Structure 1
Amino acid sequence: MNDRFTEKARSAIEKARAAAMELGHSYIGTEHLLLGIVRETDALGSRVLRENGFEEDLVMDLIEKAAGRGAPGMPVQGLTPRCRRVIEIAVAEANRLRHSYVGTEHLLMGILREPESTAAHLLTAAGGDLNKIYTDVFTRFTSSDYRAAARS
């Protein structure tokens, strides 16, 4: 994985892997990445999702309804092509914003910029507005609190 990923972004991806195992899925999809971001509770991506009504229990319920459950502990084969694409978009978003790192906020932006992803479909089906959530993330980048935290 790219060295530019923050500890929280790496942790969110690891939590996505753990979620896939927990759900008995043999792949890590965008839905698992979404859950991994939500579970990284003190990260910006998680805060924005929660502020938009997407708590961990809701996201888990949405995934279970959409993809069901398999056999718990099933070996995870890796990222789906769409999930890899979302991560590529996250890196591109960080580059576009001239950020030297890729955080959970960029991972979330990647999901929001890939509207055909399972995660984006889940957000939309539950009443989420992808453009509003994206704007909420982007607005955080311009806040003085965010700029101060990014410098530390």
Structure 2
Amino acid sequence: MFERFTKEARTVVVLAQEEARMLNHSWIGSEHLLLGIASRAGAPGAATLERLGVTPAACRAAMVPASAGELDEQDAAALSAIGIDLDAVRDRAEEVFGPGALDHAATPEQSRGRWRKAAKGAPKGHIPFTPRAKKVLERSLREALARKDNFIGTQHVLLGILDPADHPTAALLARLGTDMEAVRAGLLAELEQAA
């Protein structure tokens, strides 16, 4: 399937991995692919994302907790509903790994240099795709076929990301003040205008 990816779409996948590293994530999810597309100014779909406020800096900020290491009451209640005591988890992590063990190393608002320093502790080597991200790549092929394109470009990857069942990406877009329907409509209008 990757042989059908355009150079730009392949670059987005590489950027997704780099962004996951900088965020100290040990996985590549659909949200990282979205961040990769947003980072490629001029790529199909990137202008739509920017117009809707989905910029690289905004994505990173929305992907990092507002106050490092702290979850809000809604998070604690959701975890409690499935039997997880957030305070007990935090206490145990600090007991084993030391005070502040759950604090995030850096935030996107910090300078690029400090952001890169935070990435030094990031995962090394291959970072695996989550099942969600794999489905995005599969859906991108289906989107290309549906549009009768013989290649998979960034626009197809973005369409593949816009699955209502992808709750983490839907939540990320909501934190950025938009939703999947607005992104899809904007992207389709962008593609129609370019044709």
Which TM-score tier does this pair reach, normalised by the shorter chain? 0.7 to 0.9
Task: Provide the residue aligned with 1:124 in structure 2.
Answer: 174
Corresponding position of 1:51: 51
Q: Equivalent pairs: percent with the same residue? A: 32
CA distance in 1, matches of 2:190, 2:176: 23
Q: Partner residue of 2:154? A: 104
Once the 2 structures are TM-superposed, how far is the Cα of residue 117 of structure 1 from its aligned partner? 4.0
Structure 1 unaligned residues grouped into runs of 5+: 148-152
Q: State the shift of 1:45 in Å.
A: 1.8
Higher helix share: 1
| Structure index of larger Rg | 2
The range that moved more, 65-74 or 32-41, is 65-74
Partner of 2:3: 3
Asked if 1:13 corresponds to 2:63, the answer is: no
The answer to whether residue 161 in structure 2 is matched with residue 92 in structure 1 is: no
How many pairs were matched up? 145
1:120 Cα offset (Å): 2.3
The RMSD of aligned alpha carbons is: 2.1
The letter of the residue matching 2:155 is E
Question: How far off its partner does 1:140 sit?
Answer: 2.2
Could you tell me how far 1:46 is from its partner in structure 2? 1.3
CA contact (8 A) 1:111 1:120 kept: no
What stretches of structure 2 of length at least 5 have no aligned partner? Answer: 70-103, 106-118
State the structure with bigger RCO (CA 8 A, min sep 6), 1 or 2. 2
**Aligned equivalents of 1:114 and 1:107: distance in 2?**
15
In structure 1, distance between residues paired with 2:55 and 2:36 = 12
Deviation digits for residues 86-125 of structure 1, max 9, x if unmatched? 1111111111010111111111111112442422220023
Q: What TM-score, normalized by structure 2, do the two folds share?
A: 0.68
